[in-house]
Amino acid sequence: MADFFSKEHITANANFNRWLVPPAALAVHLSIGMAYGFSVFWKPLGNALMDGDGKPLLACAAGATTFAEKLSGTAKALFATDCNWTQFDLGWMYTLFFVLLGCSAALWGGWLERAGPRKAGLVSMICWCGGLLISAYGVYSHQLWMMWLGSGVIGGIGLGLGYISPVSTLIKWFPDRRGMATGMAIMGFGGGAMIGSPLATKLMAYFATATSVGVWQTFVALAAIYFVFMLGGSLGYRVPPVGWLPANWTPPLAKKNTMIASRHVHLNNAHKTPQFWLLWLVLCMNVSAGIGIIGAAAPMLQETFSGALIGQANIGFAEIKKDLILTAAAASVAAGFVGLISIFNILGRFAWATSSDKLGRQRTYYIFFILGAAMYCSMTYMAGLKSLALFVASFCVIASMYGGGFATIPAYLADLFGTQFVGAIHGRLLTAWSTAGILGPVIVNYMHDTRLESGVAYGQIYAPIFLVLAGMLVVGFIANALVKPVDEKYFMTDKELAEEHKLAHDKSLVISKGNADSTNVAGSASHPLLTSVAWALVLIPIGYGIWSTIQKASVLFH
């Protein structure tokens, strides 16, 4: 059994079909990507407890207005069984998700490089699915702390390990298309919610009864589904032998492209380089400028365009809030906007990362920062002119670059630091995501609330927020411009690299009489039918998710 999970056991021979690895990575990422879709549970969980007449009980923090009062209500809600949870209580799950994702990826990235992606993927599966089961019992017994512990903490650790588990492997399988390879996998993380959210909604409707909202049963069902997908994906991982290269491909000479290293930086030295911290800032600014405003997309559209969303431009958001029918109509359009953003976020991960193989990583990020800052600045005028079409189009492009930043950064790291420790280095860099997950929403929500409390009209709230986000992208542009090739002193010698290969249990490619030696090496598994089936198993759910999202987004065009 120990040998089955070992890195040696999953080292493929030279004839292995590398196109079998991306669907394995997608299976894992599509499962853990449901973290983005957890908000679908907030409303049902807020009405989980009912009185004898079938009416929801009051929330634990009912009437709380200040931040301190909300925290006090949440502290009570952690163990209370006689009051409902608020969105504020449940929203901490997002914070735990992405803080733990970055921390676990940073802490165990080095272990992953030596243990291999299969073992890391299986640990991720246990944490993510096990966390869902703990959360299910937490919902069943109405214990908020179990929700936080199960999905937030334990599940968050699973997110981190699952997110980085295929990165190093894919980059080594696709040295000729690093951006495309990581874009395919990380596209899955963005698409997880697109599939999981409508599925969870259907499951809750199926399991709901007069006394239950069907959430805990849905958690159990999702845990079972994700267990199958993550198990299959993790067992499908293979790593190439040392020295393997794609057929008819020659690595570019270092002299021709100084931004692509031909040697490797050790994990223990990567954070000592200025390039690591510049890329940390690049990722942090790109994510901060996107995550805060994307998280507030639905209310932002309703507050900015108000009656224009429902064909009544003379009605303000204050009037819409007073009418339940108008509120529902505006919310429906806003939900379509969120769906459209999701599609561009996902497609951008693949499209921009693939484009970076031709454009270069640094030039790709220049585009992100220049175009993003220009669009944020122009949106202050679009909002004032009530130009809904241009506003939505601009946000779709911004969402694509937000996703593209996630997918391009692993290839950027591989170019600068080599591929030997790229997964672990990427794991440490993801602390920038954890930071941005707090920084972006805090800036957006704080500026929104303070301007609203000072009496600013709804339609004018976001203009200065857009300018602040544009400023963050300018900071990212400067950091990206300062990135230069890594100094020679940080690279490992051939002797040090050979020692690392030994410690990581890497097998070398042995050529004998023109054929790769496959002794004690994973089988080729190169049958075309197997490849087609593997891709169908992940593309069908993705297609379902895109179709469901397009149906919601179609409201924007009526």
Give the residue from 290, 318, 284, 341 showing the smallest Cα distance to 465.
290
* Mean of pLDDT values over 156-165: 94
- Taking Cα atoms as reference points, which of 182, 185, 409 lies closest to residue 276? 409
The CA distance from 515 to 513, in Å, is 6
Residues contacting residue 239 through CB under 8 Å, at least 6 positions apart:
7, 10, 11, 12, 116, 117, 169, 172, 506
* Range 96-102 average pLDDT: 88
- Please, which residues bridge with residue 56 across strands? 50
Higher pLDDT, 134 or 328: 134
Separation CA 421–CA 74 (nearest Å):
41
**Mean pLDDT of all residues in 39-50:** 83
* Domains, the chain, ordered by start: 1-52+72-251+493-558 (1.20.1250.20), 256-491 (1.20.1250.20)
Tell which residue, 96, 48, 88, has the closest CA to residue 64: 88
Cβ–Cβ under 8 Å, residues 386 and 231: no
Contacts of 235 (CB under 8 A, 6+ apart): 24, 118
Residue 257 confidence (pLDDT): 52
* Segments in 141-254 forming alpha helices (H): 144-147, 155-164, 167-173, 178-207, 215-236
Q: Per-residue pLDDT for 445 more than 60?
A: yes
Length of the chain: 558
Q: Tell me which H or E stretch contains 445.
A: helix 431-453
Residue 421 burial class via C-beta count within 10 angstroms: exposed 0-12, middle 13-18, buried 19 and up: buried
Calculate mean pLDDT across residues 78-88: 84
* Cα gap 202→198, rounded to integer Å: 6
Q: Is the pLDDT of residue 501 over 60?
A: yes
Enumerate helices (H) and strands (E) in the chain, giving the number of each: 23, 2
How buried is residue 325: exposed, middle or buried, by Cβ count under 10 Å (0-12/13-18/19+)? exposed
**Contact (Cβ atoms closer than 8 angstroms) between residue 486 and residue 416:** yes
- Give the pLDDT mean for 169-194: 90
pLDDT band per the 50, 70, 90 thresholds, residue 92: confident
Distance, in Å, from the CA atom of 95 to the CA atom of 403, rounded to the nearest integer, reads 19
List of residues 6+ apart from 429 with CB closer than 8 A? 276, 279, 280, 283, 409, 413
The alpha-helical segments, DSSP class H, found in 386-421 are 388-417
- Nearest CA among 433, 434, 346 for reference residue 30: 346
Mean pLDDT for the stretch of residues 247-264: 75
Instruction: Tell me how far apart the terminal alpha carbons of the chain are, to the nearest angstrom.
Output: 57
Does position 357 have pLDDT exceeding 50, yes or no?
A: yes
Cβ neighbour number for residue 306 with a 10 Å cutoff = 25
Residue with tokens 């409902």: 84
Average of pLDDT values for 139-149? 93
Which residues does 371 contact at the CB level (< 8 Å), separation at least 6? 397, 401
Per the model's pLDDT, the better-predicted residue between 144 and 314 turns out to be: 144
The residue ranking higher by pLDDT, 3 or 445, is 445
Indicate yes or no: pTM above 0.85: yes
Buried b (16+ CB within 10 A) or exposed e, 102-140: bbbbbebbbebbebbbbbbbbbbbbbbbbbbbbbbebbb
- Is 325 in contact with 334 (CB distance < 8 Å)? no
Per-residue confidence band for 306, with pLDDT thresholds at 50, 70 and 90: confident
**Tokens 């179990």 map to which residue?**
146
What pLDDT does 511 receive? 46
What is d(CA 352, CA 368) in angstroms, rounded to the nearest whole number?
A: 9
pLDDT at residue 115 tops 70: yes
pLDDT digits (tens, 9 = 90+) for 508-544: 765 433 444 444 444 444 567 889 999 999 999 999 8
What is the DSSP code (8-state) at residue 509? Answer: P
Q: What per-residue confidence (pLDDT) applies to 517?
A: 44
> What pLDDT is recorded for position 65?
67
Contact between residue 148 and residue 85 where contact means Cβ atoms under 8 Å apart: no
* pLDDT at 550 (0 to 100): 86
Q: What is the CA radius of gyration of the chain?
A: 24
Cα–Cα distance measured from residue 142 to residue 426, given in angstroms and rounded to the nearest whole number = 37
**Which three-class secondary structure state does DSSP give residue 101?**
helix
Question: Does the pLDDT at position 406 exceed 90?
Answer: yes
pLDDT at 90: 84
Note the pLDDT of residue 372: 95
